[in-house]
A and B are shown apart, each in its own frame.
Chain A
Amino acid sequence: MTAARILDDAGDVLILGGAVWSLLGGIGLLRLPDVLTRMHAATKPQVLGLLMVLLGTALRLRDADDVTTLILVGLFQTWTVPVAAHMVARAARRG
């Protein structure tokens, strides 16, 4: 079993885990009762699920350009999601 094979398999497991988080987020989004609790469920695929999938993809691609793009995507997502969540929560609480 070579190192490349091990990295590929670790990436596979991470990607599958991230997809499962997305499924949990989808179920929560459908079943929870109001906007604020649905926001709680929506955060799972947006941050944890996506970061796991990106990490798994980086482990499988292992190319400097691709890994840089993936790191940038993760950074932008973790910067922008809290801002959007703040705006939505503010609007939900006021209206």
Chain B
Amino acid sequence: MTMDEFCLYGAAGILVVSAALVLLRTVLGPTTLDRSIGLDTLTAICLAAIAVDAAEHHDGEYLPILLLLTLVGFTGSVCLARFAGGDEEEISGEDGCTGPDETDPLAGTLPEPLPESGLVRRREEGL
């Protein structure tokens, strides 16, 4: 067994084992975020596997797939994190907005808006 075969087939086997472990975490993962992390890591392991295949065949034909997978994996992970966790706080949190059933904590501290007649006058003046 040459050094090439030992290292590359060994690397491929190790990648298969680690992909299985990550997949197990993705299936088990108690929260959506755990699954998001698992899928992201699985994408990275797929990237590594395609690179190992290219190295084994001395052939860079499939390398553009790596470029595509990097960007797509990033988009998926960010979308999951954005829409899976912390929704409620995003609506009524530190961003200053209040939910439908909450009292406005800023009530009374801001100046009153201009009355409708003032707005009409300013609009006619072209402001």
Contact = CB atoms under 8 A, between A and B. Distances in A.
A42 B45 CA distance: 11
Interface string A10-32: 01110110111011011101100
A25 B18 contact: yes
A20 B14 CA distance: 7
A90 B48 contact: no
B89 A45 contact: no
Contact of A19 (B25, B48, B64, B86): B48
B25 A88 contact: no
Interface in B94-118: none
A38 B74 CA distance: 17
Given A45-B18, A80-B74, A53 B54 contact: no
B48 A53 contact: yes
Contacts of A54: 51
B71 interface: yes
Interface residues of A, number: 51
Contact of A69 (B6, B36, B48, B67): B67
A61 B81 contact: no
B3 interface: yes
Given A60-B55, A66-B60, A16 B85 contact: no
Interface of B: 3-4, 6-8, 10-12, 14-15, 17-22, 24-25, 31, 33-34, 36-38, 40-41, 44-45, 47-48, 51-52, 54-55, 58, 60, 63-64, 66-67, 70-71, 73-74, 77-78, 81-82, 84-87, 89-90, 93
22 contacts: A12-B7, A13-B7, A16-B7, A19-B15, A22-B45, A22-B48, A23-B18, A23-B21, A25-B18, A25-B22, A29-B21, A30-B21, A35-B34, A45-B22, A53-B47, A57-B52, A65-B60, A70-B51, A83-B74, A84-B74, A87-B77, A91-B82
Given A15-B55, A69-B60, 8 more contacts: A19-B15, A19-B18, A22-B15, A23-B17, A26-B21, A45-B45, A53-B48, A84-B78
